[in-house]
Amino acid sequence: MKNQINNSTVTSSDVLRPTNVEVNLDSLKDNFAAIKKFVGVTKVMPILKANAYGHGLVEISKFFEKHNAEYIGVAFLEEAILLRHEGIKTPILVLGGIFGNQIPHFLKYDLTITASSIDKLIQINEAAEKLNTIAKVHLKIDTGLERIGVHYYNAHKFLEVAIKYKNIFIEGIYSHFANSDSGNLTYSKLQLERFYDVLYFFEKHSLPNPVRHISNSGAILQIPEANMDMVRPGILLFGVYPSAKIVKSVTVKPALTWKSRVVYFKVIKPGHPVGYGSTWETDHNIRAVTVPVGYGDGYFRSMSGKANVIIREKKYPVIGTISMDQIVVNIDNDSAYNDDEVILVGGNDKNNLTCEELASWAGTIPYEILTNINTRVPRVYYES
């Protein structure tokens, strides 16, 4: 078994901070293979924005490059530039909106640009012309999400302009579903129909189709007719389903375990409230342990009074208000010792805590649990 942290091979005992995230690369490999098998000949673009959904952008990108991902998707230019600096050569699509002064950087680092308006096309072509190069773009069509992209009902003019520019290569065209993880897919089917209507432009003008893509994790699972030329799995790659209502047509398993360790043990008596705001108090003597993790690490304060952790394969409640750097756990009459492992997310077949459970306690979604694990929490990678 190999363990890695911050790009250097180390053993787990070398991790100075007791709170860390372990990423099982074998699970990630299996998830990637399961998705690829499910979509057949369709290309798969891992979406690795927001620090690869909390799993670590650089190491996870290197993993997918090693396993022959055709493309990588990120949200922002700075994420893509970091990957180039780290030696990643896989094509990278930046999904977010752009500013004109960013375009030369896209060209310098051979990054694929999302072109989301005629004005952006003009800026991209001018910048590429000045540098005597060809800009690689994916055209963004808004079929009903109302973020960035040309509205589907204005797309014809957009495409007519796009194909005229000599310093732009239209490699791809894409859209994004608003609620493909829903139990009701009516709106998603409407979005798909709108996208197909836009794509007819290429057939009508006897032009080859660019790479067409619209499917995110939810659509991969529920709308196979939307797979087209490429799909964009995000959270599904990491073994988490995008919603509780989703059809689980691909079997995946979580790649992430979040752990800490007991740093202090004490007995708390009645009349001695716990934590900021004195929100919790016992009516009998209890044993309690302190764990060095808190909302400064992404362990949400809103989980106060709801969260559980696992110590010695048993679940125990977090008591009092979750602090920035510490939580207190009620083990009642049981025993625990300094340096005992504390599982925050993960576990085994006997006892397990999912990021879906944490999301329920925090009143949010699993995406936010994963992407809010702070970068001060070390990531440790292992595989067999």
Say how far apart CA 108 and CA 126 lie, in whole Å.
Answer: 15
Amino acid occupying residue 330 = N
> Residue 7: left (phi > 0), alpha (psi -120 to 50), or beta?
left
Query: What phi and psi values does residue 281 have, to the nearest 5 degrees?
Result: -145, 140
Alpha carbons 116 and 84: distance in angstroms, whole number? 24
With b for 16 or more beta-carbon neighbours within 10 A and e for fewer, the 77-91 pattern comes to: bebbbebeeeebebb
Q: Which residues contact 237 (CB under 8 A, 6 or more apart)?
A: 28, 31, 32, 35, 46, 47, 53, 217, 252
Which residues, 6 or more positions from 133, have their beta carbon under 8 angstroms from its beta carbon? Answer: 107, 167
The catalytic position among 153, 264, 276, 337 is: 276
Task: Name the nearest CA neighbour of 287 among 337, 327, 347, 341.
Answer: 337
Alpha helices in 90-235 (DSSP H): 103-108, 118-130, 155-162, 186-204, 217-222
Phi, psi values for residue 47, rounded to 5° = -95, 115
- Which one is catalytic: 49, 120, 136, 140? 49
Is 245 among the catalytic positions? no
| Residues annotated catalytic, as ranges | 49, 276
